[in-house]
Every structure is written in C-alpha cells, then in structure tokens.
C-alpha cells in the first residue's frame, strides 16, 4: 500500500481577530492524532466488547481473541523474539516502571541525564549511575564503556537505559553501538522507543536489545495503551506489578501462586480498546512505512533549514547539526519567553507547538546553558503524519514574524494560566460529548 495513512483531522480552530484556520499539528512529540484505521478498529471492537479471558460467552471469547491478537501485532511491530514477553501497559512510563519493579535487587542501572523522565526516574537511586549529557556519539559511547568497566564484575547483570530518539530534539541515538558496548560488559539494554517507533522501524531481534517500551499516544493510537516487550526471565521472577485478578493463577489458604508471562503484570481487566488501537496503529504504520519516512524526511529538512535561517532563532542540538533525527526541532527566540512564543503561535496562527522542558529537564538545562541568553525553557515543534508542508511553512513564517517584530497581539502573564491574550475574542465553549 502506498501513500500516507489517513489521519482523523480536527475541525478548523479559531484565531485572534476572528476567523478559522486549519489546525497546524506540530506537537506530535506530546500526542498524535488518531489514524482513521485506529478509530475504525476501536469502533469495531466496541461492538463486540465483553470481559477478557475469564468469560465463557461468545463475545468474551471474541474480545479475548482481539486482545491477544493485539499483543501479537505489537510483538511483530518491534521484531520481538519468539520467547519475548509483551506486557500491555498504560503508556511508556507505566512500561518502564514494570521493568523497574522487576529488577533483581542490586542491579546496576546506567542511564544518561538526557533521557525523558519516564526512563530517568524509576530506577533505585542506590544502584543507578546517571551520566551527564554527552555532546557526541563518541563521548556517549566512551563514557558508557568506562562506566560499565568500573562496575564490579560478576556480581550483577547491569542494565543500560537509552532512548531511541531524543524527546527534545528528535536526534537518534546510535543504538547498535550502544548495544554492542553493553554486550562487551555483559549488560542488558532497555530501549525507550516512545519517540522513535512512529518514525523509524524498531527491531529487537536485529538490534539484539533486551527490552523496548513505547506508547500508543505517540503512535497515532491515543487510547491509553503502551507496551513493554522483551526478555521474560526478570519479569517472571518478580512480584506482580498489580497484584489482583488475572495476575493470580491460584489463591489458597496457604498463599498465592502467581501467573507467569505477561498476565503476571497485567492485573485487573485490561484496556482492550487501547490494545486494539495500539495494534491497529502498528499494523497501519508498518504498511505505510516507506511513505511515512519520505514524508517526514522532507518535513524535517524544511523545518530545520527554515528555523536555522531565521535571525534571532537558536535551534538546540545534542550531537550537532548533522545528526540524524526525526521531524522535531527545539528552539528559542531571542528576547521572547518560550511559553509566550507557543501561545502566540496558537492564538494568532493556529499552530500547535509545545513550550517548556518536555519532561527532560536535565537535557534542556544543558542545551540552554552557555547559549548567551537567559532562556529557561524552549519551544518544540514536532511534526509527523498529520503535518503538511503548509503547516511547516506557516510555522516558519510565524516564527520569523515573532523574531523580527514580536507578537501581533498584547499578552499578559497570569498566575496559574501562563500567557493569555489581553483581548481574546475566541470563546471556548465546549459541549459535552455525552
């Protein structure tokens, strides 16, 4: 199948001064709009929805089959090995925490400060080595190699945690080389693919990594599902993540025998519709992978070239301007608070971006330091399947205007609300959906 998959698009959005414009979705890094195939799959699954795994009715059997088919689809999407576990979770944060709870006591964890908080914070402080933000692949690999070499050999199997792509800049990490470095020291590797899987293929088997985590809401399946996929031994040996029904195989007066496999960490009634959405997104993106990569490569080039050519704009980078990356750019505008920039882009131009530190405070602080400005936060424009060339051009024109002349409207900084237009003729009247 050729061409981009169809995306469920929002209605036009209001801008200051009256009128409606096509929403320019440049916040894919936070959450992605649903694919039409995802919405259709969820609608179909809703029509037969019933209890999962523990019901004998026909619809329960159908729903259970949908859930397990979704698990198999996610496994295929990430190139899982035959004996890998696929634990369906709420999101990437949930998935990382499942593994963090399953670590054998004393396991050394090595993680860079450049990670998203979801991959940076869940690990035991006493056994975690946090490495400062590297500024090149070689520096990252050298520091990782030295840190792993410094660990006492033979006592524990270390775990290396690494992002597939930066949550802030979109830059890709050298995963093959990270895994090879870890293997030389007998370490295992967890890949955070939340910002990678929608843009580039992920293959656990080819990469020889041990686990991968991802989120549906970053993968055009915004229905509250994610996954931890990888080796089962630590998971089977650990206490259940959510003790309760489903996680228990047998309960007697003498105690509990817990289930093994994914069920051990999926206590309670699972999010069937979220799992179906995640699987539908995985299958759809796989079918359109070449078109998606071509589309996003063109958007990335124009986005970066345009921002870098704009006076007063500074584009942030971990590994340098030539680093391979997805369709993401983090930047600052001289003399303007980043939250004001994001507010003006939305209010005046209908462009949706993100401002802040993007749940990666240590990385953003490092990238902003030494830039010759007092910037405390940045703007992030993150494109994807739903972004068109016109959306990027509108962003670039608006940023150029902001950098040269400032906002076109008057704004005030209100406590608890951030920057808001002094005169806002847009009425936010949202009807209930039910």
For the purposes of burial, counting CB atoms within 10 Å of the CB of 140, is it exposed (0-12), middle (13-18) or buried (19 or more)? buried
d(CA 214, CA 194): 4
d(CA 106, CA 103): 8
Positions marked active-site:
359
Q: Can you tell me which residue has the tokens 């929608």?
A: 198
Picking from 128, 168, 239, the residue whose alpha carbon sits closest to that of residue 382 is 168
CB atoms within 10 A of CB 90: 16
Instruction: Give me the residues paired with residue 59 across strands.
Output: none
């Amino acid at each position: 199948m050729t061409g981009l998959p169809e995306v469920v698009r929002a209605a036009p959005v209001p801008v200051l001064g009256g009128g409606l414009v096509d929403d320019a979705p440049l916040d894919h890094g936070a959450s992605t709009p649903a694919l039409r195939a995802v919405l259709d799959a969820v609608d179909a699954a809703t029509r037969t929805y019933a209890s999962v795994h523990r019901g004998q009715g026909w619809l329960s059997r159908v729903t259970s089959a949908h859930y397990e088919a979704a698990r198999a689809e996610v496994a295929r999407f990430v190139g899982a090995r035959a004996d890998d576990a696929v634990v369906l979770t709420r999101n990437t944060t949930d998935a990382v925490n499942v593994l963090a709870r399953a670590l054998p006591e004393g396991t050394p964890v090595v993680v860079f400060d450049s990670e998203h908080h979801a991959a940076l914070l869940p690990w035991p402080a006493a056994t975690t080595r946090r490495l400062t933000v590297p500024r090149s692949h070689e520096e990252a690999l050298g520091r990782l190699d030295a840190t792993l070499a410094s660990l006492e050999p033979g006592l524990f199997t270390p775990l290396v945690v690494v992002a597939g792509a930066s949550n802030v800049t979109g830059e890709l990490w050298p995963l093959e080389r990270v895994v090879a470095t870890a293997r030389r020291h007998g370490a295992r590797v967890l890949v955070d693919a939340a910002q990678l899987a929608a843009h580039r293929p992920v293959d656990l088997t080819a990469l020889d990594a041990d686990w991968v985590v991802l989120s549906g809401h970053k993968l055009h399946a915004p229905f509250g599902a994610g996954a931890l996929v990888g080796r089962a031994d630590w998971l089977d040996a650990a206490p259940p993540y959510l003790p309760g029904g489903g996680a228990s195989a047998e309960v007697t007066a003498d105690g509990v025998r817990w289930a093994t496999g994914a069920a051990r960490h999926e206590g309670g009634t699972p999010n069937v519709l979220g799992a179906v959405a995640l699987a539908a997104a995985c299958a759809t993106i796989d079918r359109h992978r070449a078109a998606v990569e071509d589309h996003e490569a063109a958007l990335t080039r124009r986005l970066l070239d345009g921002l870098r050519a704009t006076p007063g704009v500074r584009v942030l980078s971990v590994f340098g301007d030539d680093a391979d990356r997805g369709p993401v750019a983090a930047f600052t505008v001289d003399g303007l608070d980043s939250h004001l920039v994001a507010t003006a882009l939305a209010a005046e131009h209908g462009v949706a971006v993100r401002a802040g530190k993007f749940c990666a405070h240590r990385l953003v602080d490092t990238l902003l330091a030494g830039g010759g400005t007092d910037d405390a936060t940045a703007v992030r424009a993150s494109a994807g399947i739903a972004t068109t060339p016109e959306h990027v051009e509108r962003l670039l024109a608006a940023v150029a205007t902001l950098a040269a002349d400032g906002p076109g409207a008057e704004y005030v900084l209100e406590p608890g609300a951030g920057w808001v237009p002094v005169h806002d003729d847009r009425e936010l009247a949202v009807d209930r959906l039910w």
